[in-house]
Amino acid sequence: MAEPESASVPHHVAIIMDGNGRWAKQRGLPRIEGHRRGVETVRRTIETARELGIEYLTLYAFSVENWRRPQDEVGALMGLLEYFLKRETSTLVKNQVRLRTIGRTDLLPDFVRQELERTIAATADFTEHTLVLALNYGSRTEVLDAAKSYAAAVAAGEIAADDDSWESFARHLYTKDLPDPDLVIRTSGETRVSNFLLMQAAYAEFVFLPIFWPDFSADHFKAAVAEFAKRERRFGRTGDQLRSPAATAAIPPLVAGR
């Protein structure tokens, strides 16, 4: 399909990668095989995001709730993450893609954290494209951590006690130096956000696809971006205001919105 026009490409796309296990089950394969195929899709998706000119790509790789899965599956997922990092670091460096993480990554196994630190250091100087892996991530957990950090800053006199601005609080989120997502995509046919970027996606557009993650192709990605381009993003304003430069100029900018 045709490439979307650059002006219509979202600055930041976040993806809930769902359906690996069900993909495998449909084919009579072990769940871990679905996760293996999902890793291949991740590689393809990073390449497509770069080709489309998307500056930030966030992938929901492992949630705080995923620890509840069978231990052999959790162990396999950690092993696949290590494998991905070892295999893809050179490609990220070649393509100048910076790696970032969000979540309580300090609770991941040591061998995973070591690979993450190595890849993050190797790609730290790149600025054109950023891959963000949400690992041991949950939006409610993020808000709790941010609230603790914010309260400590108030107690230390770093923030005024009566400062109730969103900007001040947002600086304590895991994503404090990342833009909010413009587009959130979820595969598998489920239509829920599953504790993912609840604060940051307040004004995002959502696209839900009825395919499992291993089947998510470059064409699916481009189609989602094309759908995004059709949406009118008003941020509380009216369509007439957006189409009138004079009216738009008189409206105060939206906090943390694009």
Note whether residue 254 is domain-resident: no
Band of pLDDT at residue 232, cut at 50, 70 and 90: confident
Q: Number of structural domains, the chain?
A: 1
Known catalytic residue at 66: yes
Identify the domain containing residue 147 by its residue range.
7-249
Host H or E run for residue 89: helix 71-94
**Where is the binding site for substrate, in residues?**
19-23, 31, 35, 63-65, 67, 69, 186, 192-194
Cα separations in angstroms, 188 against 16, 40, 68, 185: 9, 17, 20, 10
The arithmetic mean of pLDDT across residues 38-46, rounded, is 98
202 to 31, 168, 233: CA distances (angstroms): 33, 17, 12
- Residue 37: which CATH number? 3.40.1180.10
195: annotated active-site residue: no
Domain-embedded: residue 128: yes
How far is residue 169's CA from residue 8's CA, in Å, rounded to a whole number?
Answer: 30
Is residue 236 situated within a structural domain? yes
In this predicted structure, the answer to whether residue 190 has a pLDDT above a threshold of 50 is yes
- Of residues 18, 136, 180, 182, which has the active-site annotation? 18
Please indicate, yes or no, if residue 85 is contained in any of the structural domains: yes
Q: Of the listed 66, 95, 145, 195, which one is catalytic?
A: 66
Task: Please check whether residue 155 lies inside any domain of the structure.
Answer: yes
Distance CA(21)–CA(34), nearest Å, equals: 5
- Comparing CA positions, the residue from 118, 127, 133, 132 lying closest to residue 87 is 118
Q: Judge whether 258 lies within some domain.
A: no
Whether 255 is in a domain gets the answer: no
pLDDT in tens, 56-111: 999 999 999 999 999 999 999 999 999 999 999 999 999 999 999 999 999 999 99
Mean pLDDT for all residues in the chain: 91
In-domain check, residue 2? no
C-alpha separations of 104 from 60, 74, 134, 136, 146 in Å: 13, 16, 9, 5, 12
**Residue numbers belonging to the annotated binding site for Mg(2+):** 18, 205
Checking if the pLDDT of 188 tops 90, the result is yes
Packing angle, helices 110-122 and 71-94, rounded to 10:
10
Q: Indicate the pLDDT class of residue 8, thresholds 50, 70 and 90.
A: confident
pLDDT value for 256: 43
pTM (2 d.p.): 0.89
pLDDT score recorded for residue 241: 59
Span 238-255, pLDDT tens digits: 656 556 665 455 455 444
Q: In what order do the strands lie in the sheet with 12-16?
A: 97-102, 129-137, 56-63, 12-16, 183-186, 205-208
Closest CA to 139 of 81, 180, 82: 180
Q: In sequence order, what are the residues at sequence separation of 6 or more whose Cβ sits closer than 8 angstroms to the Cβ of residue 249?
A: none
Q: Which residues are annotated as a binding site?
A: 18-23, 31, 35, 63-65, 67, 69, 186, 192-194, 205
